[in-house]
Amino acid sequence: MFTIYGYNTFNPIKVLLTAEELGLDYDYVNVELGKGENKAPDYLARHPLGKVPALDHDGRVLVESGAICRYLANISDHRLYSADPLQAARIDAMVDTTVLHVGRWLAVYFWEEIICRTFFKREPNADAIEEAAGFLKNQLPYLDQVLGQGTYLCGEDVTIADTIAYAYFQIQEKTSINLAPYPNIQRWYGEFSERPSVTAVKQRLAQAGGLLQYP
Ligand SMILES: N[C@@H](CCC(=O)N[C@@H](CS)C(=O)NCC(=O)O)C(=O)O
């Protein structure tokens, strides 16, 4: 039995997309960050830092979205990942590029243009957006080049690099991120958006409700 604790934000969405792509049967529990449910004692017992996502698999609890995605893939015959250490390292490298570089800056748009507007009722910090745009201008051409050479981020098969990256790129739907200069990223994003996993995650999040209706 799998239970995913999450919210309508990119880190939990990485796990939800991975679970859907793997065809796993799971329960989803919305942890209402806007009401501080993530800092309640029962939730802190699950995740000491009070963050989402967390996974409960038959009473065994895991935190950190990347670790959870790898775990789910590894216990599913390594689908979306690889049993081969070299290929797994290549997928890890793409995940790290996505999370530590590109995703780190896409997340600035999410924070400034969605979270601050929704919860703090303030306009985005223009300096923060400009800094993020500057880094992305250097980093996105690389992903565009990768996606010009293969259907997905690690070749011709969907991997956790795609589910994780897609969770970040969804941010562009509701922010001023401009993907117009990157036709291959746009092609990948458009095709991935048609996958049943994306529809299923949106339905789960809508059913669960929550203060933040995104995307
Ligand atoms: N490195 C963590 C980051 C988790 C994280 O920061 N989650 C955010 C939502 S996307 C959160 O729980 N924020 C609430 C808080 O930090 O209080 C992961 O990948 O799981």
pLDDT in tens, 35-61: 999 999 999 999 999 999 999 999 999
pLDDT of residue 214: 61
pLDDT of residue 82: 98
**68 pocket-lining for ligand 1 (C-beta < 6 Å):** no
Its pTM stands at 0.97
**215 pocket-lining for ligand 1 (C-beta < 6 Å):** no
Residues 112 and 128: beta-carbon distance below 8 Å: yes
pLDDT in tens, 128-137: 999 999 999 9
Give the residue extent of every domain in the chain: 2-79+197-208, 85-195
**64 pocket-lining for ligand 1 (C-beta < 6 Å):** yes
Q: Is 85-195 the same fold as 2-79+197-208? A: no
Name the residue at shortest CA distance from atom 5 of ligand 1.
51
- On the CB side of 206, how many CA atoms lie within 13 Å of its CA? 7
Neighbours of 110 (CB within 10 A): 22
**204 pocket-lining for ligand 1 (C-beta < 6 Å):** no
Q: Residue 14: which pLDDT band, with cuts at 50, 70 and 90?
A: very high
What 70-75 contacts at long range (C-beta under 8 Å, 24+ apart), as own/partner pairs, is: 70/160, 72/2, 72/15, 72/18, 72/19, 72/22, 72/24, 73/18, 73/22, 73/160
* CATH number for the domain running over 2-79+197-208: 3.40.30.10
* CATH number for the domain running over 85-195: 1.20.1050.10
